[in-house]
Chains A and B, each alone.
Chain A
Amino acid sequence: MPEFVMPDLGPVMPEIVMTCLALALLLADLFIKRKETVAFLGIIFIGIVSYTLVGATGTTFGGMFVSDGYSMFFKLIFILNVLLTILISVKYIAVERVNFGEYYSLILFATLGMMIMASAGDLIVLYLGLELMALSTYILAGFIRYDIKSNEAAMKYFLLGAFASAFLLYGISMIYGLTGTTDLKAIAFFIVNNGLAENPVVTLSMILFAVAFSFKIAAVPFHMWAPDAYEGAPTSVTAFMSVGPKAAGFAVLGRVFMTAFASVQIDWAAVLTPIAILTMGVGNIVALSQTNIKRMLAYSSIAHAGYALLGIIAGTSDGMASVLNYMLIYAFMNIGAFAVIIMLRSEGFKGDTLSDFEGLAKTHPLASALMLVFMFSLTGIPPTAGFMGKFYVFMSAINAGYMWLVIVAVIFSAISAYFYLRVVMLMYMKEPKEEVKLTTSPAVGLALAITLAAVIIIGILPS
């Protein structure tokens, strides 16, 4: 038995830094009274992390931690996600009267979990990363303690999440029993060499993985938690959840299925295809009849998961690339939309029902113009980023021969136009009912500026 040698910490540096800074933030919170400062610190810390991110590539801890271009890109998404989330939170959590420093450190921990997931090379690490993310998110979802809706959101998310991760564990144990290892590459290797591809147990564990990950990316029929959780959770957290965990889910989905289960691609494509269709269908169609915009965006995020799944199903590197691309773009446009929604929230005014948007264009032309852009982007109308994302995904899917699937997808995306446009319609074509006053702050402004710029620029110059 070899003696212990200190593993190379270079690749894992960003995570380490993140951990330290999160802890530091936790401590700083004790001394700093103005929470805005905490937020500001958090932003700086994230800056540092993203700095360490550069060039931290390689494999360490005996292949348990893989930091490659793939994980790098996802980490970029997570960083952006957390950055924008903090920006839109600063004012909001004050308005919600839950202005605690823990909020920020929890968000950082969640992000850390995602980062670990993204570069997990071993099922154990994957599981732990996933739990780290999940637990932090449960707490965040229930962060508004005095609000029953928030509690309920947390409760539902938590119980179902635990339920789903139990399945994941069962899958892990199966594959472990079969191959005697939990290392993704080794598993793939073993399956191929011992011709286990046909073995039902492999299929079974693959299914269990698919279920657990589908839960994370909120794919039908494992999406049921999403609408309630998204509606109940604090809006900023909703924004965070609708991008981060989803992206992380896609990260592990891609990682596991592309490496470990590469040899049973036909099988998991067959599993994911109906899931994708259902996801797009249910997401878009149910969104049509929503009255609460957070809930509507929840369904829309379900639908978007469906589109992104096409890229996975394609099963090509091109497809994976398109998924990454899509997730990045989705992060921008979705958080942008939530930023606008958050501005509507003010003391004693929830401002999360669709009717609150009536005639917004008259009272707040700029805000509604922004919302317009994000809505069209979510619909996928050029020249916005949303179009480019969809386009790339569809292209890779067709390239892999899933033309009919893409036709289904475009039809659904045309349907989706209806409920996105309804927001625009309410803003521009209705008269304002009561005076809506916006709670703006430089932070939100910055977030909006970033997202808008990104949506437009990516839309025009995707390269």
Chain B
Amino acid sequence: MIPLSWYLYLSTVVFVIGVFGFLTRRNIIIMFMSVELMLNAVNISLVAFSHYLQDMRGQVLVFFIITVAAAEAAIGLAIIIALFRNKATAHVDEISEMRG
């Protein structure tokens, strides 16, 4: 039987990789994918918890997270498209009209 902590560490590592990606990439889409990565990390830990706790809530939450993730994806990509129409770039650095 695999100790729970392994799953925990795994999810943590993935989560942090997501953070890393978000912090260091300049392509909006990839930044957004990093966020998805973080969500997945959370999912891993949640499912693990619910398995070890023998409780369903975790998986329910995962279900909802996936739903929301889908929604977020839709909106996020819509925003990106709208942005792209006005300014043909997916580079965050070039999208800094407002500052100060």
Contact = CB atoms under 8 A, between A and B. Distances in A.
Interface in A269-291: 289-290
B13 interface: no
A155 B35 contact: no
A142 B79 contact: yes
Contacts of A100: none
Contacts of A152: 83, 95-98
B46 to A, nearest CB: 5
Contacts of A166: 15, 18, 35, 38-39, 42
Contacts of A356: none
Interface string A137-154: 011001001111101111
A131 B71 contact: yes
A138 B61 contact: no
A295 B15 CA distance: 33
Of B18, B42, B86, B98, most A-chain CB atoms within 10 Å? B98
A145 B72 contact: no
Q: Say what secondary structure dominates the interface of chain B.
A: helix
Interface string A27-60: 0000000000000000000000000000000000
A163 interface: yes
Nearest to A141: B79
Contacts of A145: 82, 85
Contact of A148 (B11, B38, B46, B87): B87
Contacts of B8: 177
B10 interface: no
B86 A162 contact: no
Contact of A151 (B61, B65, B83): B83
Main SS at interface, chain A = helix
Interface stretch (A167-175, A260-268, A329-337): A167-175
Contact of A124 (B11, B64, B71, B87): B64
A461 interface: no
Given A124-B64, A162-B35, A232 B98 contact: yes
Interface in B48-69: 49, 53, 55, 57-58, 60-61, 64-65, 68
A152 B86 CA distance: 10
A159 interface: yes
Nearest to B35: A162
Interface of B: 8, 11, 15, 18, 22, 28, 31-32, 35, 38-39, 41-42, 45-46, 49, 53, 55, 57-58, 60-61, 64-65, 68, 71-72, 75-76, 79-80, 82-83, 85-87, 95-100
Interface of A: 124, 127-128, 131, 135, 138-139, 142, 145-149, 151-155, 158-159, 162-163, 166, 169-170, 172-174, 176-177, 180-182, 227-228, 231-232, 289-290, 295
8 contacts: A127-B61, A131-B71, A151-B82, A151-B87, A166-B42, A173-B61, A181-B57, A182-B61
Given A166-B18, A176-B49, 12 more contacts: A124-B61, A142-B82, A145-B82, A145-B85, A152-B83, A155-B79, A155-B83, A159-B31, A166-B15, A169-B38, A227-B100, A295-B100
